[in-house]
């Protein structure tokens, strides 16, 4: 990483605002950020080539590094592969149109959403799928950024990247998802850092329960993850990349019943040393003690708390940006 890594934000973190894309870029400029990752845009014109050109020009005018191509994830069944290939190619065109050098792609949303069959077979399918568009990505000067999500362990994601080819595939390195696969985020950074194309920071509380471990996402700097160590590690092993603040809050704790054999059956490929590091994290953790508006609860209508979520998401974003600057020494523009 560069001596002073650019600091940006992931727009999904303030999704309750329902802002258009230009507003999201202007918000970043107002915070004196250096970069924007435009994720899950709700702008009605998001796929219009003229709109993408406008975003490219706006980012240049505001002095922002802009990324935002997206190609979804692997289909669960072979009959969805044609649509997936189309999304990969559309992702390349979308990224080129807005001046992004990256296209986000995932294996799945979580392990339950993965294609049926052995994990090794899914990894092979992922590699084969990516390599089928290798020449198109290279011609466009685009890299596919594979997000470590709630599906594979970090060493398996590394297998995908190495197997497909590091010349056009890298890591969308996210520190929030590892706890959902019972992994210490520092382990994830150590494994994927050398092939990272961007780094997204999200904090978590991780703590023991009577029959397992609970995890919950919280504002950056307010959880159990040691981000001072993570950034020190990233500085030593990552190539020069931008770092994005990506709080996703408003979700209740998720219980992982790790002592239940039925639950652990789907994680049979877990390595003992990785689980041990995760348990060390849990044993020094505790529930989140700050106030939080919780939106993702079955039966709750988010419209009733929409205004509160807007306030919370902006507040958590700004608290994270301040922590990233003052504690982690990230960012460039704000120093001027």
Residue 335 placed within a domain: no
Quick one: pLDDT at residue 1?
63
- Total of domains in the chain: 1
10-residue mean pLDDT profile of the chain (336 residues): values are: 87 97 98 98 97 98 96 95 97 98 97 94 97 98 98 98 98 98 98 98 97 97 98 97 97 96 95 97 96 80 84 98 98 96
Q: What local confidence, expressed as pLDDT, does residue 266 receive?
A: 93
Does a structural domain hold residue 198?
A: yes
Note the pLDDT of residue 88. 98
- The CATH number given to whatever domain includes residue 69 is 3.20.20.150
pLDDT at 302: 67
pTM over cut 0.85: yes
User: Looking at the domain assignment, is residue 64 inside a domain?
Assistant: yes
Q: Do the domain assignments include residue 299?
A: yes
Question: Does residue 147 belong to any structural domain of this protein?
Answer: yes
Long-range own/partner contacts, residues 55-63 (CB < 8 A, 24 or more apart): 55/21, 55/22, 55/25, 55/98, 55/99, 56/97, 56/98, 56/99, 58/22, 58/25, 58/26, 59/25, 59/98, 59/99, 60/99, 62/25, 62/26, 62/28, 62/29, 63/29, 63/34, 63/333
Establish if 334 belongs to a structural domain.
no
Which residues form the domain of 324? 7-329
According to DSSP, residue 115 is labeled P
Q: What pLDDT shows up at residue 63?
A: 98
Q: What was the pLDDT predicted at 147?
A: 98
- Predicted local distance difference test score (pLDDT) of residue 116: 93
169: in domain: yes
């Amino acid at each position: 990483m560069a001596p002073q890594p650019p600091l940006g934000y992931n727009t999904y973190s303030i999704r309750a605002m329902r802002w258009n894309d230009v507003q999201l870029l202007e918000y970043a400029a107002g915070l004196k950020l250096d970069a924007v990752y435009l994720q899950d845009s709700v702008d009605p014109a998001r796929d219009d080539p003229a709109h993408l050109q406008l975003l490219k020009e706006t980012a240049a005018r505001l002095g922002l590094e802009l990324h935002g191509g997206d190609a979804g994830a692997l289909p669960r069944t072979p009959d969805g592969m044609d649509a997936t290939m189309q999304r990969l190619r559309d992702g390349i065109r979308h990224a080129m149109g807005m001046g992004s050098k990256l296209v986000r792609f995932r294996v799945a949303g979580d392990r339950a959403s993965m294609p049926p069959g052995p994990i090794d077979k899914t990894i092979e399918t992922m590699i084969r799928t990516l390599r089928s568009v290798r020449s198109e990505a290279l011609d466009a000067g685009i890299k596919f950024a594979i997000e470590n999500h709630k599906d594979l362990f970090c060493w398996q994601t590394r297998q995908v990247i190495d197997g497909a080819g590091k010349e056009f595939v890298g890591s969308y390195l996210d520190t929030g998802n590892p706890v959902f696969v019972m992994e210490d985020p520092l382990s994830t950074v150590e494994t994927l850092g050398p092939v990272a194309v961007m780094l997204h920071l999200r904090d978590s509380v991780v703590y023991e329960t009577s029959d397992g471990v609970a995890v919950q996402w919280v504002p950056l700097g307010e959880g159990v993850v040691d981000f001072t160590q993570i950034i020190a590690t990233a500085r030593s092993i990552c190539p020069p990349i931008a770092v994005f603040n990506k709080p996703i809050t408003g979700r209740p704790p998720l219980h992982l019943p790790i002592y239940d054999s039925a639950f652990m059956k789907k994680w049979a490929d877990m390595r003992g040393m990785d689980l041990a590091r995760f348990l060390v994290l849990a044993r020094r953790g505790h529930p989140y003690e700050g106030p939080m508006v919780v939106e993702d609860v079955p039966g709750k209508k988010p419209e009733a708390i929409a205004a509160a979520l807007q306030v919370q998401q902006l507040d958590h974003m700004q608290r994270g940006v301040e922590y990233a600057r003052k504690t982690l020494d990230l960012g460039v523009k704000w120093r001027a």
